Amino acid sequence: MLQVRDLHAYYGQSHILHGINLDVKEGEIVSLLGRNGVGRSTTCKAIMGLVPPRGSISFRGRELAGLRSDLVARAGIGYVPEDRQVFPTLSVRQNLELGLKRAGKFGRWTFDDVFRLFPNLAARQNNPAGVLSGGEQQMLTMCRALMGDPDLILIDEPTEGLAPLLVEQVGVLLAEIASRGVSILLVEQKLTIALKISRRLYVMGHGQIVFEGTPDDLAANVQVRQEWLEV
Amino acid sequence: METLLISVLNGLVYGMLLFMLASGLTLIFSMMGVLNFAHASIYMLGAYLAFTISQFVGFFPALIIAPILCGLIGAAIEIWGLRRAHQNGHIAELLFTFGLVFIIQRVVQMTWGMLPMPYRVPPSLDFPLFVLYGSNFPAYRGFMLLISAAMLLSTWLLLKKTRVGLIIQAALTHPHMVSALGHNVPRVFTTVFAGGCLLAGLAGVIGGNYQTTEPGMADSMGPIVFVVVVFGGLGSLAGCFVASIVMGMIQTFAVVIDYSVADVLRPLGLAISGDTLLTEVLTVPVARIGALLPFVMMVTILFFRPRGLMGTRDT
Ligand SMILES: Nc1ncnc2c1ncn2[C@@H]1O[C@H](COP(=O)(O)OP(=O)(O)OP(=O)(O)O)[C@@H](O)[C@H]1O
Ligand SMILES: [Mg+2]
């Protein structure tokens, strides 16, 4: 469904991505792992058109490289940034409304789904999103992206800085997303939930993919883990 | 007492006029990061267009047509000018709007000449609304208040109650995120820029015959509007509103107050005499430094509170 080929990206003069190749197939959960600063977030941003990409990004046969981000989103890709970016002055409900691509146009996800999964958000639907806790903001950002009914969702470090109980909630939501036939590209640093739920994993180092395989392959490959993941 | 009430009303009229200009400027700035130097030039254009149009079809149609023309001009500036300049960075953008100021000024001078225009209050509104102890309050100022209040209300409704308004509000804090959710942000930018220019044009239509329609009107209005925007705080319409009203009051009262700092200090037992620079400064009546006051306020607030009154980010 998503095929990234020889993707390069730059911030000004500095060359960040050096020819990334990766695939996500229909209904798959794929993880992109790596240490801080290797370019995982930049990969997501390049796919979304938030950083100008060079190379090819094809989604269901359609070339997305060079398109404006709203068109990438409308092609069916959802995005959850690592810094969450909730709209702080707007209410929880308004944040979710902004996820809809057109007013009242619901797809797989409705307000009721979100509020059933996260009673906390339901209770605070009229409060400004800026006053939510970090964990609640994380759930809100993911649900906001889901309201747009994407077929593939890019989720950048959803568990970063969350307490174990909340990490578990993220895991529950990821499972729910997958069960509705939405493909996931999950960016993580630690292996914990990635190993449990992914079908395939990529490991990045210095702007390149250095490993590709199943969770079992990675578990068996001590060398990759030591060189590119463990601190 | 009578002058006080009339002055408060006058301050309100001027403050609302400032807000019509400043609200557009602050929205454009917080959303697009563009400090639009040409905003007051659109105000001037609104006044001139209204003058010419009203000669053919009368004032009231001009009140509608001129702001719409200004909005269209704004849209054109955004689509064919700013959007390109934006790709070359902030400095290019700044210089672009700076250049516009001169272009618009030249065009105005070439089209209408250097002299003030005989743009007058329409006869149907040219009577005293009420008279208080001999001072009167002209009906036209009441009309200005009405128009600006109506504008304030509809802008507020548009921002708070419509989907476009919701997208605009979201784009004030995270424009890239709004785009990544599938909303056409460039189109939202054009809408906001055109809307801001429409408001500036409307301010020109009702301000042009309240003040004078002449080629220097942009230069005299521009700096005050900037002060209001900075003072109120970038990104805050509420702060902008308060700052506009405060500034309107200050500007109005400063000309009627004939006291100096020394006059205030004297009853406190601080007599000031001698012939030093300090005495010079302290004995100047407020009326004479009135024009300076807004800028002193801006510098002071930047010094103590760089976010402005209610700003959400640093200037
Ligand atoms: N806006 C930017 N301008 C310049 N350089 C940047 C910018 N954003 C990121 N970088 C640099 O690009 C490299 C890759 O950053 P990226 O955010 O993709 O890393 P990451 O793998 O997501 O890691 P983490 O999220 O832990 O920081 C880093 O070296 C970073 O310093
Ligand atoms: Mg990152």
* Cβ distance of B181 and A145 shorter than 8 Å: yes
Ligand nearest to the CA of A81: 2
Residue B89: what pLDDT? 83
Q: What is the number of domains present in chain B? A: 1
pLDDT digits (tens, 9 = 90+) for A60-102: 999 999 999 999 999 999 999 999 999 999 999 999 999 999 9
> Could you tell me if residue B282 is inside a domain?
no
Q: What is the number of domains present in chain A? A: 1
Domain of A167 in residue numbering reads as 2-229
> Could you tell me if residue B312 is inside a domain?
no
Residues A143 and B129: their CA atoms lie apart, in Å, by 56
Q: Is the CB of A37 under 6 A from ligand 1?
A: yes
pLDDT over 70 for what percent of chain B?
88
Give the ligand 1 atom nearest the CA of A189.
26
- Rounded to the nearest angstrom, the distance between the alpha carbon of B142 and the centre of ligand 1 is 57
* Three-state secondary-structure class, residue B129: strand
Under 8 Å CB-to-CB from A161, ≥6 apart: which residues? A134
Question: Which range among A147-156, A167-176, A178-187 shows the weakest confidence by mean pLDDT?
Answer: A167-176
Give the ligand 1 atom nearest the CA of A207.
14
What is the Cα gyration radius of chain A? 17
Domain of B154 in residue numbering reads as 2-215
Residues B288 and B283: their CA atoms lie apart, in Å, by 11
Which residues in chain B touch residue A144, judged by CB atoms under 8 angstroms apart?
181
Average pLDDT score, chain B: 87
Question: Which burial class, exposed, middle or buried, applies to A48 when counting CB atoms under 10 A from its CB (0-12, 13-18, 19+)?
Answer: buried
Q: Residue A116: pLDDT band by 50, 70, 90 thresholds?
A: very high
The pairing of strands A29-33 and A183-188 is: parallel
Say which DSSP state A65 is in.
Answer: T
> Could you tell me if residue B250 is inside a domain?
no
What pTM value is reported for the model? 0.87
- Rounded to the nearest angstrom, the distance between the alpha carbon of A61 and the centre of ligand 2 is 27
* Cβ distance of A90 and B169 shorter than 8 Å: yes
Instruction: List the CATH number of the domain containing A131.
Output: 3.40.50.300
Which residues in chain A touch residue B179, judged by CB atoms under 8 angstroms apart?
50, 68-70, 73
Q: Is the CB of A45 under 6 A from ligand 1?
A: no
Q: Is the pLDDT of residue B315 over 60?
A: no
pLDDT digits (tens, 9 = 90+) for B128-144: 888 877 778 899 999 99
> Could you tell me if residue B231 is inside a domain?
no
What is the Cα gyration radius of chain B? 21
| Count of residues in chain A | 231
Q: Is the CB of A34 under 6 A from ligand 1?
A: yes
Residues B123 and B23: their CA atoms lie apart, in Å, by 30
Most confident residue range from A150-154, A221-225, B229-233: A150-154
Q: Where are the beta strands (DSSP E) in A12-146?
A: 14-24, 29-33, 53-59, 62-63, 77-80
> Could you tell me if residue B281 is inside a domain?
no
> Could you tell me if residue B307 is inside a domain?
no
Q: Residue B258: pLDDT band by 50, 70, 90 thresholds?
A: low
DSSP A195-218: HHH-SEEEEEETTEEEEEE-HHHH
* Cβ distance of B166 and A97 shorter than 8 Å: yes
* Cβ distance of A68 and B170 shorter than 8 Å: no
